[in-house]
Structure 1
Amino acid sequence: MIDYVIKSPKGYADKVGELVSMLEHARAVTLWEIGGLRMADLDHLQTRHSNSIGALLMHIAAIEKVHQVISFENRDFSEAENGKWSSALSLGDEGRRDINEQPLEYYLEELAEVRRETLKQLKTKDEAWLFKENTWPNGVAFNNYYLWFHVLEDEISHRGQIRMLKREMKKK
């Protein structure tokens, strides 16, 4: 069920909980959007340069995963993590080559597994953590709130691409 009220779920600090509410709303809409897609739909390439719906779903999971590592562990991906997620992060030729021939359940489980960890970790965070600042290697400042806002905006943006791809597939 999609919840249309932003509120802090029990067990989370107020602002962290509001963020959780937004993350969960965005995910519920994404899951509704992809419900019933077949493997052929998930692997469909509109053009030879486009990304498939499956690749976009893995990208959504990968962005959340890398933001977990950055914000919860204060590090970047390890070599092993990069090996699992690099195609999903970069998409393009790598994603078209590596992300295909999986049923919807595969993508649903990847999204769910990453989200379970996000929710578990966010339960341990307070509002001060959201506003804690760090600096990228290029000197640009960011805070944890921004990182998780980016997870939201990335999912919403790619869901728009998924809707467009579905619309174009229906035309054919």
Structure 2
Amino acid sequence: MIDYRIKNAGDYAQKIGELVSMLEHTRAVTLEEIKDLSEEDLDSVADETSNTIGALLHHIASIEYVHQVISFEGRDINEAEMEQWKTALELGPEARKIICENPVSYYMNELAKVREKTLLKFKVINDDWLFEEKKWGNGVPHNNYYLWFHVMEDEINHRGQIRMLKRMLSGSK
């Protein structure tokens, strides 16, 4: 059941727990949205330029993975990681060709594996970590709180696209 309260989601520092609560709520709504989709639904495209629902789900996992590396390890992804996640990160024509022919359980498992690592890392940090300031290569400051807000907003944005694609699919059946 989806929890509609923002509260400390467990054995976390106060603000980290609240962030986890929001991330987990966002994920629960996404999973509810996709749970009954067929492989055909996951691989369908609205037009020749749109992404599939499956590719968007894999993208959500890839964004979280990249933000784990940036925020927890203090680095950008390396070549091997880029090779693994590039198609999902970039989406587009390549993703339509490569990210396909998977059941919904595949995408749910990918999302769960990445999230499990996030939750483990959040257990061992404190609220001060959220506010640690860093700078992008171009000198623009950011903090870890922003990075994880971005993970959440990216998933919500793509869930909106998934809902739109589902409506378009149901109209064409």
TM-score bracket for this pair, using the shorter chain length: over 0.9
Please report how far the alpha carbon of residue 11 of structure 1 lies from its aligned counterpart in structure 2 after TM superposition: 1.0
Q: Which amino acid aligns with 1:147?
A: L
Structure 1 segments of 4+ aligned residues over 2 angstroms from their partners: none
Looking at structure 1, the residues matched to 165 and 73 of structure 2 have their Cα atoms a distance apart, in angstroms, of: 35
Looking at structure 1, the residues matched to 10 and 52 of structure 2 have their Cα atoms a distance apart, in angstroms, of: 37
Within 5 A, what are the aligned runs for 1:24-39? Answer: 24-39=24-39
CA RMSD of aligned residues (A): 0.6
Within 5 A, what are the aligned runs for 1:130-169? Answer: 130-169=130-169
Within 5 A, what are the aligned runs for 1:1-172? Answer: 1-172=1-172
Q: Which amino acid aligns with 1:17?
A: G
Q: Judge which range, 92-101 or 51-60, deviates more.
A: 92-101
How big is each residue's C-alpha offset from its partner over 1:14-53, in whole Å with a ceiling of 9 and x where there is no partner? 0000000000000000000001101000000100000000
User: Once the two structures are aligned, what percentage of the paired residues are identical?
Assistant: 61
Please report how far the alpha carbon of residue 9 of structure 1 lies from its aligned counterpart in structure 2 after TM superposition: 2.1
Please report how far the alpha carbon of residue 79 of structure 1 lies from its aligned counterpart in structure 2 after TM superposition: 1.2
Name structure 1 gaps, 5 residues minimum: none
Aligned residue pairs: how many? 172
Q: Which amino acid aligns with 2:144?
A: N
Please report how far the alpha carbon of residue 80 of structure 1 lies from its aligned counterpart in structure 2 after TM superposition: 1.2
How big is each residue's C-alpha offset from its partner over 1:103-154, in whole Å with a ceiling of 9 and x where there is no partner? 1111011000000000000111111100001111111110000000000000
Please report how far the alpha carbon of residue 10 of structure 1 lies from its aligned counterpart in structure 2 after TM superposition: 2.4
Structure 2 length normalisation: TM-score?
A: 0.98
Q: Which amino acid aligns with 1:46?
A: A
Structure 1 length normalisation: TM-score?
A: 0.98
